[in-house]
Structure 1
Amino acid sequence: MDDESDIVGGDGPDFPPQSPDVLKKPKAPGTLHKRPAQAAQYLNQAVFHVTAKSPFISLLKRAKKEVIKLHSRRRNVVLLVGLSKAIEKTLSLGLRFQHMGYAIQVETDTVVINDDLEPDDLQEEWRQITRSVSRVKITVSLKSGKDKKERKKVLVDSD
């Protein structure tokens, strides 16, 4: 019966294994200073950088104002950009615009970010460590093929 107690939940094998080196990458000696991603230059576009702490409704309202300005042809598109943890919020904003009747286009890619590693020993030099972060870009624009009356209706109904 001792064999059953091991299977059911007795003193079976320890998961995860006792040695942390097996599962985790060894930590670099020193303090890691994370840099934010560099904002890319987008010409003729209103860009909203979505973060995980950004309030959803205020982002929606600010982006919606810019989308309404698309009607006056000041800009071609509105761009929503979110990195790693903010991807879900960015996609939610894009879906909201799609439900309002706008055309959206979703692009995903990976961005390389350089971080600084400050060594514990003051005699050593700082090092740069690179990491890859997922990014989503959503382009919001007016649907093509609609006449002006339908565009105005979309703008009024979306309020």
Structure 2
Amino acid sequence: MTKRIQGKHIKHTANIKPRTQTEQISTFLIKSQTPYVSAIKKISKQLSKFEHSTGVKKYSQYKQVSYITVKGMGKSIEKTLSVGLYFQERYNVDIHTGTVEVLDEFQQDEDESVYKKRLVSSVELKIWLKKE
């Protein structure tokens, strides 16, 4: 059994930053504070934007996008899955579960910090676009 670390607990997010601009636009991170309805609206807006992209040079990068990714971990898994179920009526949705390693920081004194890694459950949804 591990011993409890005393001090202020500072949580750090997992390293889930999108790499390219297109990935950044097509990836949504759901947190426990994210309102369900606003997540649905944002994702719906992006889906319609990618589906109806024209041949304009500005949006040519959107033609490479074939799905939108929705990610959630920890407490937000239930909300992420309910978003996936909402879009499952109109789109094909793939669900991938996994584990993410996160880093916690414990500040014992003003200058002294202790870092500890822990594993958190995560879920990733891929909502596939219907290209015309």
TM category (shorter chain) comes to 0.7 to 0.9
1:29 & 1:57 partners in 2: Cα distance? 39
Runs of 4+ with deviation above 3 angstroms: 42-45
Higher strand share: 2
Corresponding pairs, count: 119
For structure 1, the residue ranges without an aligned partner over 5 or more in a row are 1-23, 149-159
Q: Is 1:32 matched with 2:12?
A: no
Please report the TM-score for the alignment, with normalisation by the length of structure 2. 0.78
Paired residue secondary structure (2:88): helix
Contact 2:30 2:71 in 1 (8 A): yes
**Who wins on radius of gyration, i.e. which is larger?**
1
Determine what percentage of the aligned residue pairs are the same residue: 29
Q: Relative contact order, CA 8 A, sep 6+: which one is greater? A: 2
Q: Is 1:102 matched with 2:79?
A: no
2:119 to 119, 123, 132: 132
Letter in 2 for 1:118: Q
Deviation digits for residues 91-123 of structure 1 (CA, Å, limit 9, x no counterpart): 010111011x20111111111111112124x6x
Q: CA RMSD in A?
A: 2.1
Q: Is 1:85 matched with 2:75?
A: yes
For structure 2, the residue ranges without an aligned partner over 5 or more in a row are 54-61
Could you tell me how far 1:31 is from its partner in structure 2?
2.1
Please report the TM-score for the alignment, with normalisation by the length of structure 1. 0.66
